Chains A and B, each alone.
Chain A
Amino acid sequence: MQFTVEQKPTFAHITGTGRLNMVGAPKLREVVTQVVGDGSTHVVVDLGGTEFMDSSGLGALIGCLKLARQAGGDLRIANVRPQVRMVLELTSMNRVLTPYDSADAAFADD
Chain B
Amino acid sequence: MTETSPRRSRRGPATARTVDALHEDLDALWEEAPHVPDTDRMAFTLAVMEAAGNVVVHAVPAAEAPIELEVDLAAGPHRLEARIYEIGAAPAEVDLDRAMAEEHLESGRGLAMIQALVSRVVFERHGDTNVWKLCRECGPDGA
Q: Is B72 an interface residue (CB 8 A)?
A: no
The B-contacting residues of A in range 2-39, CB under 8 angstroms, are: 19, 21-23
The A-contacting residues of B in range 34-66, CB under 8 angstroms, are: 38, 42-43, 45-46, 49-50, 53, 56-57
> What is the predominant secondary structure among interface residues of chain A facing chain B?
helix
* Contact yes or no, B20 A55, CB < 8 A: no
Q: Is B96 an interface residue (CB 8 A)?
A: no
Q: Is A98 an interface residue (CB 8 A)?
A: no
The A-contacting residues of B in range 76-97, CB under 8 angstroms, are: none
List residues of chain A with CB within 8 A of the CB of B23. 19, 52
Decide: A90 near B113, CB < 8 A? Known: A21-B49, A83-B42, A83-B46: yes
List residues of chain A with CB within 8 A of the CB of B16. 21-23
Instruction: For the complex formed, measure the closest distance between the CB of A30 and the CB atoms of chain B, giving whole angstroms.
Output: 15
Chain A 53-88 interface mask (CB, 8 Å, partner B; 1/0): 011101110110010000000000000001100110
Cβ-neighbour of A92 out of B20, B53, B100, B110 (below 8 A): B100
**Nearest CB to that of B111 among chain A residues?**
A55
* Contact yes or no, A55 B103, CB < 8 A: no
Please indicate which of the listed interface residues B38, B57, B106 has the most CB atoms of chain A within 10 Å of its own CB.
B106
CA distance A82 to B46 in the complex (A): 13
> What is the predominant secondary structure among interface residues of chain B facing chain A?
helix
List residues of chain A with CB within 8 A of the CB of B49. 21, 52, 54
* Contact yes or no, A90 B42, CB < 8 A: no
* Contact yes or no, A93 B103, CB < 8 A: yes
Interface residues of A, count at CB 8 A: 24
CA distance A93 to B53 in the complex (A): 20
Q: Is B109 an interface residue (CB 8 A)?
A: yes
**A/B interface sample: 15 pairs, CB < 8 A:** A19-B20, A19-B23, A21-B16, A21-B20, A21-B53, A22-B16, A22-B20, A22-B57, A55-B53, A55-B107, A55-B109, A55-B113, A83-B46, A86-B42, A87-B113
| Chain B residues proximal to chain A, CB less than 8 Å | 16-17, 19-20, 23, 38, 42-43, 45-46, 49-50, 53, 56-57, 100, 103-107, 109-110, 112-113, 116-117
